[in-house]
Chain A
Amino acid sequence: MRGLKFIIAGLIFGVVMSKSEAISWFRIQEMFRFQSFHMYGIIGTAVILGVIITYIIKKYKLRDDQGNPIIFTPKEMSVPRYLIGGTIFGLGWALTGACPGPMFVNIGYQYWAILIAVVGAIAGTYLYGAIKDRLPH
């Protein structure tokens, strides 16, 4: 089954997000109150390793498992889009204590109340799609 490798990647992600407590509302509060290094350690370690690995992939022009070159699409430059969109995202992130990944991991953890947030997130995505041409980008 070709899709199995993606399920396994997601599974590893789900287990580690749970076990490092990154899916916890409390941990996100602690982060936004600057009262612990925990979340900064998680994101910082991932980014530092990510920078090194991305550099290596580009430098040695590594290929994926299908033999195609691994490409990184640069993001289009804009300030309002990322700043306003990011700020709205952040408002919700601190409120529910879960960004999209942990939101779904919480379903598996059987915190069923998070399903309300998932419905909200799908509705929010839909509204963005419906009015995007009227927003500053």
Chain B
Amino acid sequence: MLEFLSQPWPWYTSGIVIAFVMVLLLFFGKSFGVSANLRTICSACGAGRNVKFFDFDWRAQTWNLLFLVGAVTGGFIAAEFLSNGEAVQISQATIQDLSALGISAPDGIQPEEIFSLEAAFTLKGFLILLLGGFAIGFGARYAGGCTSGHAISGLSNLQLPSLIAVIGFFIGGLATTWILLPLIF
């Protein structure tokens, strides 16, 4: 059983479980959206004193912070008990494209060139992660949600704004992939 679970899970398993998590939260009277936590964290750190956007009762969002605690724990359980340490099985075409950029084939879940601590503490590596994260935080709040809030919850409710946001996600993602990455690497 554990051996079976240790293999990578197929996409449909993941899609079904993500929909299940969304429904679970709906039946708990909440809505699925991870990036709202970033605003809650700002507020909990006292940002509401200077910026009105963070001046709200963040304690009412504790449930979502607990969801985050669960997500971190889930990652830990997957890594420690449900992993066979195999490399991500991405397509040969992607491996070739990335090797042209100087990023070696997968050896685990993440590329050494970005996620190893040696790489992360070079100026380039540090800025990739910091600015990438910055764009995610800024963009998610500007667009009013991220992949979970727009692509999953919003599209499920047939919201046109969410479709526009998802189109934006792809414009940005394609620009990074095809323009920025070749310039950076």
Listed in ascending order, the chain A residues whose CB lies under 8 Å from chain B are 3, 5-33, 35-39, 41-51, 53-54, 57, 62, 64-66, 68, 70, 72, 74-79, 81-101, 103-114, 116-130, 132, 135
**In the complex, what residues of B have CB within 8 A of residue A99's CB?**
34-35, 136, 140, 146-148
Q: Which residues of B contact A72 (CB under 8 A)?
A: 31, 157
Chain B positions within 8 Å of A, measured between CB atoms, are 5, 8-31, 34-35, 37-39, 41-42, 47, 50-54, 62-64, 66-79, 82-83, 88-91, 93-94, 97-98, 106, 109-111, 114-117, 119-120, 125-126, 128-144, 146-148, 150-162, 164-178, 180-181
Q: Measured between C-beta atoms, what is the minimum distance from B86 to chain A in Å?
A: 10
Name B7's closest neighbour in chain A (CB-CB). Answer: A19
A13 — which chain B residues lie within 8 A by C-beta? 17-18, 21, 67, 70-71, 74
**Contacts A25-B114, A86-B165, A128-B137; A43 near B15 (Cβ below 8 A):** yes
> What's the nearest-Cβ distance from chain B to residue A121, in Å?
3
A75-B162, A89-B143 are known contacts. Are A24 and B38 too (CB-CB below 8 A)? no
Asked whether A9 and B28 contact (CB < 8 A) given A90-B176, A116-B129, the answer is: yes
A82 touches B143 (CB 8 A): yes
CA distance A122 to B42 in the complex (A): 7
Q: In the assembly, what is the distance between CA of A32 and CA of B170, in Å?
A: 8
Known contacts A88-B135, A104-B34, A119-B130; A10/B66 CB under 8 A: yes
